[in-house]
Structure 1
Amino acid sequence: MRILDAHQHFWDLSANYLPWLADKPVSFRYGNYEAIKRDYLPDDLRADAEGFELVGSVFIETEWDPADPLGEVAWVERLRQREGLPNVMVAQAWLDRDDAPEVLAAHGQASFVRGIRHKPAAASSPDAVERGASGSMGDPNWRRGYGLLARNGLSFDLQTPWWHLAEAADLAQACPETQIILNHTGLPADRSLEGLAGWREAMRLLADNSNAAVKISGLGQRGKPWTADSNRGIVRDTIEIFGIGRCMFASNFPVDSLVGSYHTIFSGFAEIVADLPVEERDQLFWQNAARIYRVEMEGVA
């Protein structure tokens, strides 16, 4: 099975400062994450993906030292030259900071940077959403930075709980020239009937905008192993809502190694969509990622 992994991370903890991995533990949706406090580099990804045809990857920023948002780009460039992975990256930027114009301009000049990720401030539950909260997608300072993405040729990777997708839809409409790529399937952690109904409604709001796509990833549940049966409905609902052409499968490795092996996750995706035509499966596993992230696939037919 051919894979262009649309969302993965590398880190060298002996050389680089990632506060959430180096300092005291943070609140994390999968619970204890001690197991991933170790170096993770291209050879590790290739070993995890053994048995699949890994044709490339999209590196997503790792919450690198926020005082040095350009440092990760320089490190990834050296990694690419030495290891052949990743193909492209989504870099760090803080859209509501005073240095946003300079940082985004620098990212736009890097030949392998395709977009940025800045996790907006989020409420802890649907009933706690505060429109226009500081650091949120409704914050004027945050939106001012967001408005600079298109002129620098950058897309936006959005990681936020589903109850903020109405704000994301508004953002998509306000800046139709900017591609939004929703991370981790909108984080449907609440698998109750009510929770899933709210998630589906929110996903439809975002999907109504043609400049929005989604990565089907990050589907682990705290304290439970990743299984195809537990995630089948979410995967198929996402494909139905966004359409084949705007969905991408991704590993979120090494983070999702906390809930399942690479083989478990991608074999699970394959099982869930086994009834689809091979052309549609190719779109989900690699072609859409290559198109949306503008990855040159030399020698791949």
Structure 2
Amino acid sequence: MASPHYKVREDWLALSQEEILVPGQPIFDAHHHMWDRPEGRYRSEELMADVGAGHDVRASLYVQCRTGYRLDGPYELRPVGEVETVLNWTRGYEHFPVGMVAMADLQLGDRVRPVLEALIHAGEGRVKGIRNTTAWHADPAVRSNPTPPPDGLLRTDAFRDGARAVAAQGLSLDIWAYQTQLDEVRALAEDVPDLTVIVNHCGGPLGVGPHDRNAPENFHAWRDSLAAVAAFPNTRIKIGGFGLGVFGWRYADAPMPPLSVALANDWRPWVDTCLDLFGPDRAMFESNFPVDKGQVSYRILWNAFKRLAAQLNETEQDALFWRSAARTYGIDQNIFHP
């Protein structure tokens, strides 16, 4: 299927420019992808052009997106090719990425253990976690993946067994799920208390299909479901993903790209809710590039996050911008000190 993401248009993004806010704030970009696809390329050169745009980005975390799978060999081991490919692309770029979230099919249950071992070996110390494709919705208008998964993967006994194997290896589990699936995420966090569960993209608040982003009942349904997840101490939240089409904003349709003041005003209710529920010590900002780059530039995105964090003290800001992510993924914190 065609990509559901907005096309990246560098000439359009260049129409809006801003000075860097708080240029001395260290940043760990806790979620980005890399790929080389017919619809566009985003490899080390493109990533480094973005992280070098003015903010003090010290390191990044790569998250699986079906890049560079092996073309042969045992099917369950083909995702190891993604780790191999990304490492090959990024030789010579220290800390970009400093860690990786890889793919291992947790429907294998306990049989996923040798796959995890192969990923860890291939990653040369950088594989920190696992993510599967799990975001599902009955309405075809709600789609954030070129190949949507079937319903119910998070609910299976096999997935639970696979998640226990992830925890036993000392890895974390990233989960991209829509607001309608958060009860499944809560149940997983409860059933596998030794597993660190990292909820991606604010827990998937929806603004398309049957979901009206501006309807109070839709916002409350997301908030209440996310609160149930946040009640478990083994959960974390990534704040970002607002450029995803399923969130419902259509900045890409405007003649000019958005500025950070407008973005901060638009996103504040969701960001403030995530912070209220998880606190800065269990929350982290993410770029979700190049997915979100179809709607906002890297420079302006991080300016918006800095505006949203401005009311916090220095310790809380550091938690959001780098410390929480570094702790969660076991990254050397010395990277982020002067």
| TM-score, scaled to structure 1 | 0.84
After TM superposition, the structure 1 = structure 2 runs for residues 119-268 of structure 1, keeping only pairs within 5 Å, are 119-120=133-134, 122-124=136-138, 135-190=152-207, 191=213, 192-220=215-243, 221-224=248-251, 227-268=263-304
Whichever residue aligns with residue 123 of structure 1, its letter is H
- Residue 28 of structure 2 corresponds to 4
Distance 1:7 1:121, change over 3 A: closer
| Cα distance in structure 2, aligned partners of 1:116 and 1:212 | 15
Structure 1 unaligned blocks of 5 or more: 14-20, 23-36, 126-132
Q: How many percent identity over aligned positions?
A: 32
Count the aligned residue pairs: 272
Shift of 1:173: 1.2
Shift of 1:120: 2.3
| Cα distance in structure 2, aligned partners of 1:276 and 1:134 | 39
Matched, 1:52 2:55: yes
SS of equivalent to 1:166: helix
Shift of 1:121: 5.8
Aligned residue among 101, 104, 114 for 1:90? 101
| Cα distance in structure 2, aligned partners of 1:121 and 1:295 | 27
| TM-score, scaled to structure 2 | 0.75
CA contact (8 A) 2:323 2:333 kept: no
Shift of 1:146: 1.7
| Cα distance in structure 1, aligned partners of 2:49 and 2:156 | 42
SS of equivalent to 2:40: coil
CA offsets 1:17-68 (integer angstroms, 9 cap, x no match): xxxx45xxxxxxxxxxxxxx22212332232231101100000011234852
Whichever residue aligns with residue 83 of structure 1, its letter is Y
Aligned alpha-carbon RMSD (Å): 2.0
Runs of 4+ in 1 over 6 A off after TM superposition: none
| Cα distance in structure 2, aligned partners of 1:158 and 1:175 | 14
CA offsets 1:133-178 (integer angstroms, 9 cap, x no match): 8652111222222221111121100001012111111111111111
Matched, 1:271 2:307: yes
CA contact (8 A) 2:136 2:178 kept: yes
